[in-house]
A and B are shown apart, each in its own frame.
Chain A
Amino acid sequence: MAHSTERYEPKNPALKWFNDRLPLISYGKEHFVDFPTPKNLNYFWTFGMILAMCLGIQIVTGIILAMHYTPNVDLAFNSVEHIRRDVNFGRIIQGTHAVGASMFFFAVYVHIFRGLFYGSYKAPREVLWMLGVIIFILMIATAFMGYVLPWGQMSFWGATVITNIFSAIPIVGTPILEWLRGGFAVDNATLNRFFSLHYLLPFVIAAVVILHIWALHIPGNGNPTGVEVKDGRDTVPFTPYATIKDLVGAVVFLIPFAWFVFFAPEIFNHSDNYIMANNLVTPAHIVPEWYLLPFYTMLRAIDFNVLFIDSKLAGVIVMGGSLLVLFFLPWLDTSKVRSGSFRPMFKIFYWVFVVNFIVLMYLGAQDPSVVVYNYLAKVATAYYFLYFLVILPIVSRIETPKPLPASISEAVLAKAH
């Protein structure tokens, strides 16, 4: 993005000496203070900063929990109870980490659906979008392994069911499964490696987040009109305008977060996870955390063989495909208009997609042997894929978009008073 501000040089001679050798101060000023930000960003755009905050909270509380946690099948369950009962403020820190995972996923879903509505994945931001999908997949892996660590019944059986997914791969499935588990069943070796990787992956996420922000700062922010920034009248400096707005968003976000931590830290948890892992007894219903339910529904929805592919492998392909299809989204939606606000036909299918996603989430927690749920799960899974593979390509060809504003500043002025 072209902007006229010259490269900033610190006035202080010591800082200038440093900045001439490593221009951190110039870069910081350019990217976090002067960076031109569209003046019409709404509160959905504060979720990027909120997500960065969530990652920070998870890393800080996680490092603290690792100081008190023991990754061993005989001790893990009790060490988590020890953190909650004995460690100073352990109840709050553990609660923040557990609730934080849910809040993190809530924020990432808002962020993703914001992107889906406003066409944030479209040229020239395809790589930015794809890096975001990679972050989402890494988040899922990290959250899954974190859920195994308390070594309750849900931890153990969740790990068993999810690692079993790999056994669906023809020929190499079982060797891969045993390699992942480090044994013939989920056991101490599995717990240890999940702990190691659960500690590692957040830092990998942080690295991809840096690339994500880098890719954002090449074209600059999108905005609710989807019209690109034309000149300085369309933008305001990132600091203080965007930073303070982000801060307001963050504070509002932290209110329910704090409520959950202080008053309902168990609300997202499953009571079976307060029974220590027992590899001889399976809980009646194995349910993943709420944020993974839509994908779990798609896994279970395929209970029939597809040609020569058996039902189990087909379910795995569908679940994996539901994430992989996101990588191709920039080329599936070919409409030149970015923002859903100016796309009357797209808008309808988009909101059906949102509702459909919530239905998938609901169904993931229901008993799939009930005929109605089983049927609904198939319909909802079909719509998830039809939206990306059929509806978007067709709608972008046949739809007549509404007229776009000439510029961001024109759109802002038209709305004012």
Chain B
Amino acid sequence: MATEAANGATRRDFLYIATGAVGAVAVASAVWPLIDQMNPDAATLALASMEFDLAPVETGQEITVKWRGLPVFIRNRTQAEIDLAKSVPMSDLKDPETDADRTKEGHENWLIVLAACTHLGCIPESNAGDYGVVTSNGQEGGWFCPCHGSQYDTAARIRKGPAPKNLVLPPYDFLNDTRVKIG
């Protein structure tokens, strides 16, 4: 045939492959919405950024807020907690980060972390574990995860147990001294 190429491939072969390729693209495009519908929807994403007023949180107090459906610890640390976190040598840490890496400059009393153990996502207990500040009124700072025994220090860094990482810092910014925007 006049359309036959030198290598023996025919015009018909080309049409079969081209049709199949276009068909595969069409199927893939049709399948994508069926897969993507499982991703977080618009209503969930609308919660991605939230503002909180920190004025009522006293020194040494901790609140739990919900951001994107996840609990977040916001802790107003005492000077003793900050000093203890700063005194830890990097060589003692499984996931080395300085206290300054964990806070915002000028707001280093505020520790804001996701309240999910980095092992398998349980919520750690506050003011517990071996890495807090012991005072006459009980322990201040430090976290202990009841599920598998991971322990975090006063900068929420992993110190002991199966968790691989420090408690995760959400993206946040201080709008002024008492107002924070998470997300």
* Chain A residues proximal to chain B, CB less than 8 Å: 157, 160-161, 164-165, 178-185, 187, 189, 193, 279-286, 300, 303, 305, 310-312, 367-369
Pick the contact of A189: B41, B64, B122 (CB < 8 A): B41
In whole angstroms, what is the CA distance A279 to B146 when docked?
15
**B120 pairs with A184, CB closer than 8 A:** no
**B69 pairs with A183, CB closer than 8 A:** yes
Q: Does B162 interact with chain A (Cβ within 8 Å)? A: yes
Give A280 Cβ to nearest chain B Cβ, in Å: 5
**A280 pairs with B64, CB closer than 8 A:** yes
Contacts A161-B120, A311-B162 given: A185-B69 contact, CB under 8 Å?
Answer: yes
**A180 pairs with B38, CB closer than 8 A:** yes
**B69 pairs with A284, CB closer than 8 A:** no
**B123 pairs with A300, CB closer than 8 A:** no
Pick the contact of A157: B122, B149, B164 (CB < 8 A): B122
Give A344 Cβ to nearest chain B Cβ, in Å: 41
**B164 pairs with A193, CB closer than 8 A:** no
Specify which chain A residues have a CB less than 8 angstroms from the CB of B69 in the assembled complex.
Answer: 183-185, 187, 279
In whole angstroms, what is the CA distance A182 to B42 when docked?
11
List 9 A-B pairs, Cβ < 8 Å.
Answer: A160-B122, A164-B120, A165-B120, A179-B35, A182-B44, A187-B44, A282-B122, A282-B147, A311-B164
In whole angstroms, what is the CA distance A215 to B41 when docked?
43
Which 10 A/B pairs are nearest by Cβ-Cβ distance?
A369-B149, A185-B69, A184-B68, A282-B122, A303-B162, A164-B121, A161-B120, A282-B123, A183-B44, A310-B164
Q: DSSP class of A's interface residues: helix, strand, loop or mixed?
A: loop
Give A401 Cβ to nearest chain B Cβ, in Å: 44
Pick the contact of A182: B40, B123, B149 (CB < 8 A): B40
Nearest chain B residue, comparing its CB with the CB of A164: B121
**B44 pairs with A189, CB closer than 8 A:** yes
Nearest chain B residue, comparing its CB with the CB of A184: B68
- As a 0/1 sequence over residues 32 to 56 of chain B, the CB contacts with chain A under 8 angstroms (1 = contact) are 0001001111001000000000000
Nearest chain A residue, comparing its CB with the CB of B39: A179
**A185 pairs with B70, CB closer than 8 A:** yes
Nearest chain B residue, comparing its CB with the CB of A193: B38
Query: Which residues between 133 and 175 of chain B lie within 8 Å of chain A, taking CB atoms?
Result: 146-149, 161-162, 164
Give B112 Cβ to nearest chain A Cβ, in Å: 16
Specify which chain A residues have a CB less than 8 angstroms from the CB of B120 in the assembled complex.
Answer: 160-161, 164-165, 286, 312
In whole angstroms, what is the CA distance A367 to B162 when docked?
13
Give B18 Cβ to nearest chain A Cβ, in Å: 32
In whole angstroms, what is the CA distance A129 to B162 when docked?
36
- As a 0/1 sequence over residues 55 to 74 of chain B, the CB contacts with chain A under 8 angstroms (1 = contact) are 00000000010101111000
**A184 pairs with B147, CB closer than 8 A:** no
Give A395 Cβ to nearest chain B Cβ, in Å: 34
In whole angstroms, what is the CA distance A303 to B150 when docked?
11
**A300 pairs with B64, CB closer than 8 A:** no
Give A102 Cβ to nearest chain B Cβ, in Å: 24
Contacts A179-B39, A182-B41, A184-B70 given: A369-B146 contact, CB under 8 Å?
Answer: no
Q: Does B104 interact with chain A (Cβ within 8 Å)? A: no
Specify which chain A residues have a CB less than 8 angstroms from the CB of B161 in the assembled complex.
Answer: 303, 369
Contacts A184-B68, A189-B44, A279-B71 given: A286-B122 contact, CB under 8 Å?
Answer: yes
In whole angstroms, what is the CA distance A285 to B148 when docked?
8
Using A180-B38, A311-B164 as known contacts, list a sample of 15 further A-B pairs with CB atoms less than 8 Å apart, ordered by residue number in A: A160-B121, A160-B122, A164-B120, A164-B121, A182-B41, A184-B44, A184-B69, A185-B68, A187-B69, A279-B71, A280-B66, A285-B146, A305-B164, A311-B162, A369-B148
